[in-house]
Amino acid sequence: MDAETLLSQSQDIASKISHVLQKRTQIAQRHLNERVSETLGLDHNDSVPVSSAAAPFNPLNAWQYTVDTMQRSLLFWDTLYKRGNEFVERSAAGPTPVLHFEYDMLVDGRTFERPVNYALLQLRPLEGVGVDVRKRPYLIIDPRAGHGPGIGGFKDDSQAGIALRAGYPVYFVVFFRDPEPGQTMLDVCNAEQLFVRKVRSLHPDSPKPAIIGNCQGGWAAMMLASSDPDDTGPIVINGAPMSYWGGAWSEGGGDNPMRYSGGMLGGTWLASYAADLGNGKFDGAYLVENFENLNPANTFWDKYYHLFSNIDTEPPRFLEFERWWGSYYLMNREEIEWITRNLFVGNKLWSGGVTNSSGQSFDLREIRSPIVLFASMGDNITPPQQAFNWVADLYGSTEEIKARGQVIVGLTHENIGHLGIFVSGKVARKEHKQIVSVLETIETFPPGLYGMSINEVRNAAGEVEYEVDFHERRLEEIAAHYNRFGRVDEKPFEAVAAVSNLNQRMYELLAQPFVQAMSNETSARMLRQFHPLRWQRWAVSAMNPWLGWLPAAAQSVRDNRQRASVDNPWSKLEHNGSEMLSASLDYYRAMRDAGTEASFFSVYANLYATFLGKASADGLPAPAGAVNPRELPFVRTALQAIGEGGYTEALARAAFLLSHKGASLPLARFELRKEIAESYAQYLPDIASDHWRRIRGEQEIIVSFEPDEAIATLPKLLEHSEDRARFLELLDKLIVDERVLNSAPDAAQKEAYERIRAVLAPRESRKRPARLPAGTRA
């Protein structure tokens, strides 16, 4: 590439970066102005207070506020003192899962031939709620991202609580603080396979267990399901970063800054360096610190001010959450390096670039059970692009999803943050409860990609209930919706991976031997103990002799509590000051993230365009052109087999021909289909559900591309008179079934039914009317 082209290309990229940075800056400034105006009570001119009359100075109000503030301060520090004491006790004894429910340990991975610090727990039934051992068991896998396990069962309204209250057996995969020597992520995957087989052995008469993966537990669940598809049932992954490079480069406010961290830190070498300083163990507190830095307003002010301003009621909730948030777990060097190289920076899981312990690639297309993807538009740690883009990368088209018989259901929340996906009681009562309620029905879906929506309605008693609808989607449309720049913004991450590999090799060659030689268990323990997140906890605890007076003083305050009135003007002034400080920190975050994004693309977009790809006209690499679906290999294969098959293929073809297409599909309709299918089980093929979905998908492709030929070749599929008679008998029974006679068919369904009857039953021998009754719908 000549110098003139390089210069022009660099100018184009710089222009785009400058434009986005300017937009981000304007949005940040507008948000700051809006919060300041709202706090100060200014009108739309941002200059005149809505109520300009200042409250007169009242010495009694000032005295009440002063006493209240001093008492709240003592109670505030006493709460932090309790937090510190709990942290010290849990650290000394070894932290345990923060599960809200009682449990029994079934399998301890530390006893395996290849020991791992994982275990399988069985949650005990709730009091007054029985568990049906014939129901589908649920296996929940929590993320190992610095914190301890248990967040999926953190409170009564949680994933575990919802399933237990519905009478399902619930199992939990947990891990201990210290990894076993030499354990790897592949060892962990093998251990989780053994856990699944244990659950299946306990429920031989139940459907295959549903696997629930939270955040990084999501990709662990996908690895487990792809390596052991015969033992796993439906997969639900919540806020799981499957496509780490995803997250649209937009002009909106504060989009997804964490995806730039790998590039700005120079790649994976820093994780290796931290593990070497830890004498071969990586401290999870570094990961937690990264999460906290994403939201400085909450980390440094908001959560503490919320505790301070509600000190009489907030401490129990604060301490409950801090038991989980303040538990820091460790990983082996091999584990964190595997994660950073293959997932965070390498982005290799969906592409088959990751191999299992047998040397075979994890092929996510081997998963035969339905997959439910739950993400949130308000999640800037795992945005929807990271949760969904892997589907487009892996399958490429809607037709391939159908050809492989796969069912994928997507559900998005509008604004909840990353942690809220797992810990919010409201999300558990709404989204997670509905996911649990529909899993068995989802297994009966025809193959394809579906959007799931949950609508609030009120019953006759005025109580809130939820209605679930499904909409079949095109993969191409969903990918375009969530990726406003056609994913050209992901190309610079290829440059990040290349730079990371270079930096990793340089570190291993030039620095690692010296770092490892200087590290030992004593120095590693000191580094961990004096990490800022640990230090701020144990420094405000009984380990600090200067704070021995605090519990007694706090108890005295509780016995003589004097609260300021709610309308005290000094309290209002305090609240306004807190809002101003919070707004300032949010403004700092927005500007920091905008600057980080601009710096990232300034470096890596130019690196990619210069060395790794060809530049397009707009300064960034152009996406690949669209492919004609008819030319796809699996489409050609399906069309070539249009006249091949038997009764099962004919039934699947007719099912699609007579289905209602295009409109929203309420859950009740799918449940009715399931009920009807059970009623006519003797007419249905006795095959596995995943095999049926694959056949149904192939026949749907045939009908979609060659509808006339699909009907004309039905007699070839039903050459045996017994099969044809059985097929027609089923059709005739369905059209007079009261459960089917619930709504009028559309014109396409009427025409399809008449054409199927005409091609299979000669008019002179037809004993039943060829026309679909007016009140039926297939």
Distance (Å) of CA 491 to CA 240, 432, 623: 21, 34, 9
In a domain, 202, yes or no: yes
Three-class SS of residue 468?
Answer: strand
Of the three residues 434, 464, 499, the one that is the final residue of a domain is 499
Q: Which amino acid is at 777?
A: R
Is 49 inside a domain boundary? no
pLDDT at 154: 85
Specify the CATH number for the domain of residue 459. Answer: 3.40.50.1820
Which residue carries 């520090």 as its tokens? 77
Residue 559 resides in a domain: no
Domain that holds residue 135: 103-284+328-499
Q: Are 746 and 764 in contact (CB under 8 A)?
A: no
- With b for 16 or more beta-carbon neighbours within 10 A and e for fewer, the 185-202 pattern comes to bbbbbbbbbbbbeebbee
Please report, in angstroms and rounded to a whole number, the separation of the first and last CA atoms in the chain.
61
CA dihedral 57, 62, 63, 65 (to 10 degrees): 150
pLDDT recorded at residue 620: 43
Q: Which of 499, 532, 566 is the last residue of a domain?
A: 499
Low-confidence ranges of the chain (pLDDT < 70): 1, 43-57, 248-255, 613-627, 661-668, 739-746, 762-778
Same domain (yes/no): 640, 495: no
Same structural domain for residues 493 and 635? Answer: no
In which order are the strands placed within the sheet that holds 407-413?
A: 103-108, 118-123, 170-175, 138-141, 210-214, 235-238, 371-376, 407-413, 448-458, 464-473, 665-666
Residue 699 lies in a domain: yes
**Helix, coil or strand: residue 449:** strand
Determine the Cα–Cα distance for residues 316 and 455; give it in Å rounded to an integer.
33
The whole-number pLDDT of residue 730 equals 86
Residue 265 shares a structural domain with residue 124: yes
Q: Please state, in angstroms and rounded to a whole number, the distance separating the CA atoms of residues 31 and 592.
A: 15
Structure confidence at residue 203 (pLDDT): 95
Domain boundary among 463, 479, 499: 499
Same domain (yes/no): 495, 356: yes
Q: pLDDT tens-digit profile of 636-682? A: 888 898 999 899 999 898 888 887 766 666 666 777 777 878 888 88
Long-range contacts of 478-481 (CB under 8 A, 24+ apart): 478/388, 478/391, 478/392, 478/410, 478/449, 478/451, 479/388, 479/389, 479/392
Structural domain contains residue 750? yes
Does any domain span residue 744?
Answer: yes
Nearest alpha carbon to residue 528 among 770, 297, 357, 274: 274
Q: How far apart are CA 376 and CA 428, in angstroms?
A: 14
Residue 726 lies in a domain: yes
Bridge partners of 235, per DSSP, are 211, 371
* DSSP secondary structure of 585-644: HHHHHHHHHHHHHHHHHHHHHHHIIIIIS---TTSSPPPPPP--GGGSHHHHHHHHTTT-
Number of domains in the chain: 2
Cα Rg for the chain, rounded, in angstroms?
A: 30
Instruction: Please report whether residue 303 resides in a domain.
Output: no
